[in-house]
Structure 1
């Protein structure tokens, strides 16, 4: 019995030693894991050559690694590599991925108030748009993102959206009537094209080329940067009408929980890198506009430039959407937004 007790004691001692050793291994492993750079994954539906992707790879990724002394690195996944656009927004919200940079339309379910920036023909030029979005209006919108688990690091430029189609040149509102037009899943955009008599079809960006090529839809609307990046001239898009009906913004938003989990120094470094990348993206976007337009025109696409009178006819046809947005989002929000635009001109 005595011998058995000593054996049992030795067994317990060995077990304790083994557990202690395992604990040390776990502790060392965790220590090593913490010492490894945390990779911040960003997702988007934009392509590798789009100004937003280039700015985030060349400026944001470089500055994050530099300013955090290698404690964080950045991986940018373009071309919807991380899933459909709405999925990527949800991934950033949950912290599965660090961030996402996509059009305002894809944040509608999180921040419906952002829809006020989608009103048709509300901006006359990019300078006015960014005076407004960089001012009190933008500061009013940012906390609404934080309530949904996202922090805005930058409002980037997507640009003026134009209509392309396979059927005819569009010079007046009636020319849009009956066309099956792909739109983002954006209530303001859809309401606007309903007023023009179109048949809106909400599709993810990954589905546009195939739907156009197969004739499932007649046309779509996007800035020249997207028309060229997606090579929509190879998808039966023979006509472009420079309606400039919406000026679209890219929201670069990141996971609030992941950002807040960083040290204060690293958090400020990431925010600063976002500011620098946003400034660079806007510069590139403005510079690329003429080149993208020229590339589209070189493919034999017929481009229609609206006269001031023709543009006014589109404005008049879509004006009722302003009252619809007032009813949906609130009179005060719309009036504050329109006042900010008037002050910025």
Structure 2
């Protein structure tokens, strides 16, 4: 293996890439990873020199506090390749800022920009051949941080590990999605960590989602924890509702994640002359709109799928099918956003960053 130091990043390259063994046309999302990862440890109150090395397991104590007290955060990002074989990131500054907000909320150290952004760029330069051209193709980026101090005392860790791993992805399609509106379980509560991308937020969703799956629904539209009357998120995504020709989405809060795709779609919709209102939509308003025919669309918004249309929703003992539209806001906005991400259309917002 080749060892060298460049721009304060240790680089330890693999001798043989596994890229030729990968079938890029038949990828299962998030199961295949590139040759290298970035690792940086926080010890003695400071960040050490980051290292890019072979993607491989690493050793951690069974008493590491991530296992016992849940200090773990992550981000989801993508890199895209245009027709000139240049690689681009989409709004990485937003993911970086949100990552550190999550770190602060979980009493973890903030990651310096030269470790997160510069380290990611260097990693992508090394792994650029893993970013494939074509509609829907991308390289999924997963930065994460875990607590590594040994000991089972209930207190924040002293040591942490920050990593970035990469996974090639094809066009994400989950089939027809039907959702059920939550009337008991909650994704997050006021004063909690719902606005952070904390691992525990997602594990807490698995059981109620399992119950929804057993009833024939793929996801849950979460409601506020206090009254279960305000519609907030769909599964692990932000959610939009189209009533007549206006899009509605809930304002961000301590319970709702400040999604990068969400805020991008809001700006894009305004540019496309689609009326958008950031306000809470009540369950009773949604049901009334479904009954009188003014509810046209519901769709989730997130990094993996970009936009995920919803075919229908259930609430208590009722089910409401959504109309099939020729002029869907969801599909129009998805096309426009992915065209910006892949440089098919000009980026008038300044969102894309060349590697």
Larger radius of gyration: 1
Higher relative CO (Cα under 8 Å, sequence separation at least 6) belongs to 1
Tell me the TM-score normalised to structure 2 length: 0.28
User: Which structure has more strand as a fraction of its residues?
Assistant: 2
